[in-house]
Structure 1
Amino acid sequence: MGEIELSAGTIEYRDTGGDGPVMVLLHGLLMDATLWDEVVAGLAPRYRCVVPALPLGAHRRPVRRDADLSLPGLARLVAELLQRLGLSDVTLVGNDTGGAIAQLVAADPELSKRVGRLVLVSCEAFDNLPPGLTGRTIALLGRLPAWAFRAFMQQMRLKPVRRLPIAFGWLTRRGDAVTRGWARPILSEPGIARDAVRVLRAVFADRTVLSRAAERLAGFERPALVVWAARDRVMPPEHGRRLAALLPQARLVEVPDSETLIPLDQPHRLTEALLS
């Protein structure tokens, strides 16, 4: 993992390097860059993959106390990362909350200057904020003091708890080995628990932000791909179809036998869609 100092603080990121076109992949709340490991393995021979560990609750370096962790603030942070790394004409890919952030980047002509293509993978959209039972649960947890949130997250050590619908049970069918590691920074570093509570409160503070962004997505006239789990129980499949209809150059791919975290449940199908 490399490191870069941005306005929010130190951000870690993985960069596969190479001379190929650049793909930047964004993860969701209480997740880290390992969400994309299998997909990156399939993309790396042809793409330079940059995968930041955004300050969404599973990062390893606490950010500044004044960092803007709202969805618009995180979108600006991604645009700042692209600028500081000198990346241009990137394919911006987001899954779960990473897709919400990618929408806000694409909807803003200033933030999207370095984005050449957009890929949205089963993510929050329109009025689905917080998303489903899983999202409503973590939004409630975000109201706890940091010490109490950290104590609650101790339960994530147990697989039966991780597999509950209020945890990761409705987000992934096959990715428990990966999700097991996402709680470790919260349990080992009080500063990360503080950041996690802050980001949960900030992300869900404005529940209309994605509906407003959707009104501007028609202005993103570059190639786009919408990849959605066909029977997603957290991110409604109808939202995937609506996003594909909004984006002028979008194509829709529906993935069977997967929950929201398609990079964990169907990494090879997702990689094929990205390569196409």
Structure 2
Amino acid sequence: MRDAALGAGKTVELPSGQVEYAERGSGPPVVFVHGLLVNANLWRKVVPAVADAGFRCIAPDWPLGAHRVPMPDEADLTPSGVAGLIAEFLAELDLTDVTVVANDTGGALTQILLADHPERLGRVVLTPCDAFEAFFPEPYARMPKLARLPGMIWLAGRLLRLPVVQRQPFAFGWLAKNGIPVEILDSYLRPIRASRQIRRDAKRFVVSVDNRFTVAAAKSLSGFRKPVLLVRAADDLIFPATLFDRLSAILPDARLVTLADSYSFVPEDQPAELARLIVDFATAGRASTAPA
């Protein structure tokens, strides 16, 4: 179930398939990109503050295994295909000068978006995420090979119902320092348990993950000259701090900050501070583009 804090639920029909999303607030658009096996609920504690500050917050459920509407058989669910789907979404809603906020796998997809479809972007916020050779990082690096085994996605969906499994590093244990509420975890895991089509979508994405996508995207990032805010987590156990050092060195207009007392899921562990950073960053960008 979608958290009410995200706003009104909506659906859009794209060339690649149907996407559900939530929308709250009005003003310049902020679009959120979550990662694998989570959905828009990841942003439930961030969206209200950003919307109240005068922004139109749009949080889709991307087809990464915790979505509710299956994608068509012909949909391209490789990393570049999902990045293309994000570009389709921005175009269909006619969003321009967009602030994109991404986390985890969504950060890798956003880097591909920057490289291949930068036209509608105004600025980007990358919180802890895959980059360069770390797509997927440890302890998830073997997932593409494991997902190819018959029945593995089905089995993983069943095993992840167990709290002892959820707490493991290869599951959600190293992602949120303060844990994830039971009802939110259920919203992440129920679709892959309940739907063969969602399991199919998840498998199609996971087996296609390869760091050639992020390495190729990194070669183009020096050409993205719009502002990027890199939000690193001080206690991150998944994504090495050096990943953001390298991104900061490549991106021409990047600012790097580090949040204390957080694992990779900064929207879960430090939502108020993340919301403040997004608002300050997007407001500064809006002021810099205002007519004199």
User: TM-score category by the smaller chain?
Assistant: over 0.9
State TM-score, norm by structure 1.
Answer: 0.93
Match of 2:249 in 1: 245
Q: Distance in 2 between matches of 1:211 and 1:152?
A: 28
Number of residue pairs aligned between Structure 1 and Structure 2: 269
1:10-47 deviation line (CA, Å, top 9, x unaligned): 110111142x1110010001110100110101111121
Q: Distance in 1 between matches of 2:90 and 2:72?
A: 20
Match of 1:225 in 2: 229
Q: Distance in 2 between matches of 1:71 and 1:151?
A: 23
SS at match of 1:182: helix
Q: 1:2 to 1:175 in 2, by over 3 A?
A: farther
Match of 1:214 in 2: 218
Residue 76 in 1 paired to residue 84 in 2?
A: yes
1:102-132 deviation line (CA, Å, top 9, x unaligned): 1111123xx1111000111110001002211
Q: 1:96 to 1:112 in 2, by over 3 A?
A: same
Match of 1:37 in 2: 44
Kindly indicate whether the alpha-carbon contact (under 8 Å) linking 1:32 and 1:54 is maintained by their aligned counterparts in 2: yes
Match of 1:95 in 2: 103
Residue 197 in 1 paired to residue 203 in 2?
A: yes
Q: Distance in 2 between matches of 1:152 and 1:16?
A: 33
Q: Distance in 2 between matches of 1:152 and 1:214?
A: 31
Match of 1:139 in 2: 144
Q: Return the letter of the residue paired with 1:28.
A: G
Q: Distance in 1 between matches of 2:144 and 2:206?
A: 6
Unaligned stretches of 5+ in structure 2? 1-8, 281-292
Q: Distance in 1 between matches of 2:206 and 2:81?
A: 13
Match of 2:286 in 1: none
Unaligned stretches of 5+ in structure 1? none
Q: Return the letter of the residue paired with 1:3.
A: T
Residue 137 of structure 1 and its aligned partner are, at CA, apart by 4.6
SS at match of 1:15: strand
Q: Return the letter of the residue paired with 1:125.
A: A
Q: Return the letter of the residue paired with 1:257.
A: D
Kindly indicate whether the alpha-carbon contact (under 8 Å) linking 1:137 and 1:166 is maintained by their aligned counterparts in 2: no
Query: How many percent of aligned residue pairs carry the same amino acid?
Result: 42
Kindly indicate whether the alpha-carbon contact (under 8 Å) linking 2:124 and 2:229 is maintained by their aligned counterparts in 1: yes
Q: Distance in 2 between matches of 1:16 and 1:253?
A: 27
1:190-234 deviation line (CA, Å, top 9, x unaligned): 1111111111112x1x32221121111111111110001123221
Kindly indicate whether the alpha-carbon contact (under 8 Å) linking 1:144 and 1:197 is maintained by their aligned counterparts in 2: no
Q: Return the letter of the residue paired with 2:201.
A: D
Residue 52 of structure 1 and its aligned partner are, at CA, apart by 1.0
Match of 2:29 in 1: 22
Q: Distance in 2 between matches of 1:53 and 1:175?
A: 21
Match of 2:115 in 1: 107
Residue 263 in 1 paired to residue 271 in 2?
A: no
SS at match of 1:240: helix
Q: Return the letter of the residue paired with 1:190.
A: R
State TM-score, norm by structure 2.
Answer: 0.88
Q: 1:98 to 1:85 in 2, by over 3 A?
A: same
SS at match of 2:168: coil
Q: Return the letter of the residue paired with 1:4.
A: V
Q: Return the letter of the residue paired with 1:132.
A: E
Match of 1:120 in 2: 126
Kindly indicate whether the alpha-carbon contact (under 8 Å) linking 2:132 and 2:211 is maintained by their aligned counterparts in 1: no
